[in-house]
Amino acid sequence: MPLDLIWPRSIVVGALIAALTSGAIQAAGQLPYGSRAGEEVTITEMDGIDSAKAVIKIRHTRDNARGYCVDYLGHEGDQCIDQVLKDTQVSDSIKGDCRTGQFVNLAGRYLIFAGPNFDHDAVRSAPEYRIFSKGAKTFLNGTMASGYDVNLSQFRALCPSKFAEAELAFAARPKYVGRWYIDDQKVCREDEGQAEGLLVYKAREFVGMETNCSFKSVQANGSHYDLSMDCNSEGEIARGRREILEVNQQNKLERTVIDGKKPVKFSYNRCPF
């Protein structure tokens, strides 16, 4: 189902993109090559930014090595700097195709930036954006160990406009996406579909206790969303089930279930992460 059936597509104005991206380019004097404090390299040249042949050339300088020694190792002096310069192995550039989202990071790893992850608030450890290792079926999780933040920074430097478009789309996703509970916050620690009182709304799917629904249509009307879905609950199929959702100013989910002639209303709290 196309995303524009779920929510209106954001209109990216040229001036707005320029404002969002110029700062990224101007501030791109350093790039991270790792997640530890001070693991940075210095940009020496940028060419074809936002194009199909974007290239950023880098150099691991003595100042970069000093930053790592001081900020991470807590050492200062030539011996530490010399050792870091010797031990650090990174490519001399990163390259990307900003039309397809494919890029090669400083470790020589082939990756694909696939845009926003609209289920971010509904799934634990799910990042805001999807980055795949080439050939992988699942995207990097949001942990430091996955290298997610480092790779996102490198892609953003190569393709700031494509990232800005993804950022706008992510911000415009429905506010009902997330994990919700009624009374006991403890259910938020349970897996989706395994706890009474825990509701998980994703961009195209709803998961409740022994219930799974796929959205057939979502109509936005101001702050309300009118959902039509097909549900499977304990082996029984219900087609065309209808709900109306709204997240109010108190960040509570107001849910109206249209079942028969009389609508039934519920209110839920958002699970903290």
Instruction: List, for residues 186-214, the tens digit of each pLDDT value.
Output: 999 999 998 999 999 999 999 999 999 99
Over residues 123-132, mean pLDDT: 92
CA dihedral 94, 153, 123, 140 (to 10 degrees): 20
Give the count of beta carbons closer than 10 Å to the beta carbon of residue 183. 9
In which band, very low, low, confident or very high, does the pLDDT at 23 lie, cut at 50, 70 and 90? Answer: very low
219 and 146 inside one domain: no
* Per-residue pLDDT, 154: 97
33 and 166 inside one domain: yes
In which band, very low, low, confident or very high, does the pLDDT at 219 lie, cut at 50, 70 and 90? Answer: very high
- Answer yes or no: is pLDDT of 261 > 80: no
Domain of residue 68: give its range. Answer: 3-171
Of 124, 153, 171, which one is at a domain's C-terminal end?
Answer: 171
What is the SS3 assignment for 229-263? EEEEECCEEEEEEEEEEEECCCCEEEEEEEECCEE
131 and 7 inside one domain: yes
Over residues 115-122, mean pLDDT: 95
Which residues, at least 6 apart from 149, have a Cβ–Cβ distance to it below 8 Å? 32, 35
CA distances from 175 to 46, 64, 88, 122, 246 (A): 37, 41, 43, 11, 8
90 and 208 inside one domain: no
10 and 121 inside one domain: yes
Of 171, 189, 204, which one is at a domain's C-terminal end?
Answer: 171
Of 118, 136, 171, which one is at a domain's C-terminal end?
Answer: 171
Over residues 13-30, mean pLDDT: 47
185 and 241 inside one domain: yes
User: In degrees rounded to 5, what are phi and psi of residue 22?
Assistant: -60, -40
166 and 262 inside one domain: no
Q: How big is the CA angle at 103 (ends 97 and 109), to the nearest 5 degrees?
A: 155
148 and 74 inside one domain: yes
* 258, β-bridge pairs: 242, 263
Q: What is the mean pLDDT of the chain?
A: 88
- Answer yes or no: is pLDDT of 19 > 50: no
Whether pTM exceeds 0.85: no
Helix axis angle, 160-171 relative to 14-26, nearest 10°? 120
* 226, β-bridge pairs: 219, 244
> What domain count does the chain have?
2
72 and 29 inside one domain: yes
* Per-residue pLDDT, 76: 85
Over residues 135-162, mean pLDDT: 94
118 and 75 inside one domain: yes
131 and 200 inside one domain: no
Q: Does an H or E element contain 211, and which?
A: strand 211-221
Over residues 130-150, mean pLDDT: 93
Q: Which two tokens stand for residue 196?
A: 């009474």
Q: How far apart are alpha carbons 106 and 89 in whole angstroms?
A: 9
- Answer yes or no: is pLDDT of 160 > 70: yes
165 and 184 inside one domain: no
